[in-house]
């Protein structure tokens, strides 16, 4: 099994009919970046930067963040895409340095981009660090928990401010760095056509998108039957987001757990997802599966599942129609 997978290390990620996608990793530290590279990932689709802020009483400095982002990029080498997500700390995580108030509904609360836009000095430190590291690799910047166009535009304006500061200080960065958003709130998924005109890319965060679409706390094990990305309401949103991005010639990835799940890969490939970001250990199995799938045939499957009743029906439909899964 292991040896079979080995042949897919360092290979491009292509379907049986020659359609190429990107298989990249979700990481949460520089150490993860090195491991993900060893495990065959082509880059990073989600660098969760929360580790820099957690378990300490002060805030991480610009230099400290710069080193972490640069080291992650260098673990992969030139050209590999590295998507850095700005901090996604929420009311459910203790953060002594920010003195966040306790909330009744932390998942619906003061978190992520909402904190960053409220505390621009804190946000700009991170933006400057990412920009500086972009001189050393193919870094991209991604904003989490975007609900409105206004939030995106404010975040983008602060990014432009940070760029302007660096220019006036003669500090190098990639002038053409891509900036995109996570689609993990149904409001943003519904407005994807509007966002697509302005962003460089989308990355669909199904962990939260499922939670908010199904109104089911992602941490509650009793709600497993609801916390399933195969539910057609979720699939319809995903399909809508991919179409909206492609209409504006933007690429679209996915960094929720769904992207690395074998049963979901044929659907997502059929819908035309461009980038799949998953835990590093899922990359080689996903590349092996992809090599057996025919993308052209799966476009029909991707449409058919949108009309089914629920996740269970989708699961059995895919199992029946995709023999390559077994």
Question: In the complex, which residues of this chain contact ligand PEP (CB under 6 A)?
Answer: 46, 48, 88, 184, 205-208, 255-256
Q: Residue 87 binds what, of ligand PEP, Mg ion, none (CB under 5 to 8 Å, by partner type)?
A: none
**Closest CB to ligand PEP among residues 46, 293:** 46
Decide whether 254 or 284 has the Cβ nearer to Mg ion.
Answer: 254
When CB distances are held under 5 to 8 angstroms depending on the partner's kind, the choice from ligand PEP, Mg ion, none that residue 255 binds is ligand PEP
Query: Which structure tokens are listed for 202?
Result: 């989308």
Residue closest to 72 by CA, chosen among 280, 255, 282 = 280
Only one residue has tokens 């939670």, namely 211
Distance CA 60, CA 194 (A): 34
Instruction: Give least dist CB 215 to ligand PEP, A.
Output: 15
Determine the Cα–Cα distance for residues 258 and 261; give it in Å rounded to an integer.
Answer: 5
User: What's the min distance (Å) between Cβ of 138 and ligand PEP?
Assistant: 20
Smallest gap from Cβ 203 to ligand PEP, in A, equals: 8
- Indicate which of Mg ion, ligand PEP, none lies near residue 48 (CB less than 5 to 8 Å, by partner kind): ligand PEP
Which residue of this chain has its Cβ atom nearest to ligand PEP in the complex?
A: 205
The pair of structure tokens assigned to 297 is: 């045939």
Looking up tokens 């580790």, which residue turns up? Answer: 51
Minimum Å distance from CB 143 to Mg ion? Answer: 11
* Closest residue to Mg ion in the complex (CB): 208
Work out what residue 206 binds among Mg ion, ligand PEP, none; the CB cut-off runs from 5 to 8 Å by kind. Answer: ligand PEP
Which listed option, Mg ion, ligand PEP, none, makes contact with residue 46 (CB within 5 to 8 Å by class)? ligand PEP
Cα 272 to Cα 23, 207, 213, 268, 303, distances in angstroms: 14, 20, 22, 6, 11
Residue 178 contacts Mg ion per CB under 5 A: no
Of residues 13 and 206, the one with the C-beta less far from ligand PEP = 206
Site membership for Mg ion, residue 257 (CB under 5 A): no
Cβ proximity to Mg ion, 234 vs 305, nearer residue: 234
Which does residue 256 touch among Mg ion, ligand PEP, none (CB within 5 to 8 A, set by kind)? ligand PEP
- Within 192-221, the residues that bind Mg ion by CB under 5 A are 205, 208
Residues that bind Mg ion (CB under 5 A): 184, 205, 208
């Amino acid at each position: 099994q292991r040896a079979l997978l080995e042949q897919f290390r360092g290979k491009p990620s292509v379907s049986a009919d020659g359609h190429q996608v990107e298989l990249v990793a979700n990481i949460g530290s520089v150490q993860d970046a090195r491991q993900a590279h060893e495990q065959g990932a082509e880059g990073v689709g989600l660098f969760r930067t929360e580790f820099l802020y957690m378990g300490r009483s002060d805030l991480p400095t610009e230099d400290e963040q710069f080193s972490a982002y640069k080291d992650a990029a260098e673990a992969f080498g030139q050209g590999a895409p590295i998507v850095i997500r700005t901090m996604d700390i929420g009311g459910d995580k203790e953060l002594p340095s920010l003195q966040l108030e306790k909330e009744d509904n932390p998942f619906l609360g003061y978190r992520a981009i909402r904190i960053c836009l409220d505390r621009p000095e804190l946000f700009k430190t991170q933006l400057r660090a990412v920009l500086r590291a972009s001189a050393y690799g193919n870094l991209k910047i991604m904003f989490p928990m975007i609900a409105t166009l206004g939030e995106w535009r404010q975040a983008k304006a602060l990014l432009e401010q940070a760029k302007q500061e660096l220019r006036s200080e003669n500090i190098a960065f990639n002038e053409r760095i891509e900036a995109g958003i996570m689609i993990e709130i149904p409001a943003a998924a519904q407005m994807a056509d509007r966002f697509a005109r302005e962003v460089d890319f989308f990355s669909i965060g199904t962990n939260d998108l499922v939670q908010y679409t199904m109104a089911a706390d992602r941490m509650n094990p009793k709600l497993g039957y609801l916390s399933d990305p195969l539910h057609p309401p979720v699939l319809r949103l995903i399909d809508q987001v991919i179409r909206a991005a492609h209409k504006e010639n933007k690429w679209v990835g996915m960094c929720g757990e769904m992207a690395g799940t074998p049963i979901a890969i044929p659907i997502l490939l059929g819908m035309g997802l461009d980038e799949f970001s998953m835990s590093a250990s899922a990359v080689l199995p996903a590349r092996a599966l992809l090599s057996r799938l025919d993308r052209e045939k799966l476009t029909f499957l991707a449409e058919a599942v949108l009309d089914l009743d629920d996740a269970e029906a989708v699961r059995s439909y895919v199992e029946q129609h995709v023999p390559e899964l077994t």
